Amino acid sequence: MLDDLDRNLLEILVRDARTSLKELAAQVGLSSPSVSERLRRLEERGVIRAFTVEIDPLALGYTLQAIVRIRPLPGKLHIVQKLIEEIAEFGECDKVTGDDCFVARLFVRSIGDLDGILDRIADKAETSTAIIKAQPIRRRPPPLVAPSSSSS
């Protein structure tokens, strides 16, 4: 479980993953070596997966994003998953329950590019595509709250 100091460190890093050890230490009231050790333990436990950068797709010319629901044809599940993994424009993909097997986010520069990518999987899966108009909530971590002491 996380203690209050770990949660505080994570909250700071979620806001800015480039925060220095010295600044982290000052903000939580620990020494830099203590903060370094806590971060090492959080990484070892898999709480922190990566210190990363967020790139604006628009700055790279990706003017459109789409959510693609993908339902592989019978016997094509693994082939479709491998194909999704190989197509770099798929920024993320979740394997889900329900009518579809995958829900993926696709970054494209044009409708023509979108059609070209969808054509690559058309003989292996049915797709349903929605163009993203806006992203009012960007991907964020789950709440970093302490677990409640009583079960509801």
Residues 6+ apart with CB under 8 A from 95: 81, 101, 102
CATH code at position 33 = 1.10.10.10
CATH number where 102 lies = 3.30.70.920
In a domain, 152, yes or no: no
Q: Which domain holds residue 31?
A: 4-44
pLDDT on residue 141: 86
- Two tokens at 11? 């909250």
pLDDT for 144: 87
How many structural domains are present in the chain? 2
Residue at 10 is within a domain:
yes
Tell whether 28 is covered by a domain.
yes
Residue 65, C-beta contacts closer than 8 angstroms, at least 6 positions apart: 57, 91, 105, 106, 107, 108, 131, 132, 135
- 52 in a domain, yes or no? no
Cα–chain-centroid distance for residue 64? 18
- pLDDT at position 140, please? 86
pLDDT-flagged residues of the chain (< 70): 146-152
E strand or H helix that includes residue 131: strand 125-131
Q: Do 12 and 62 belong together in one domain? A: no
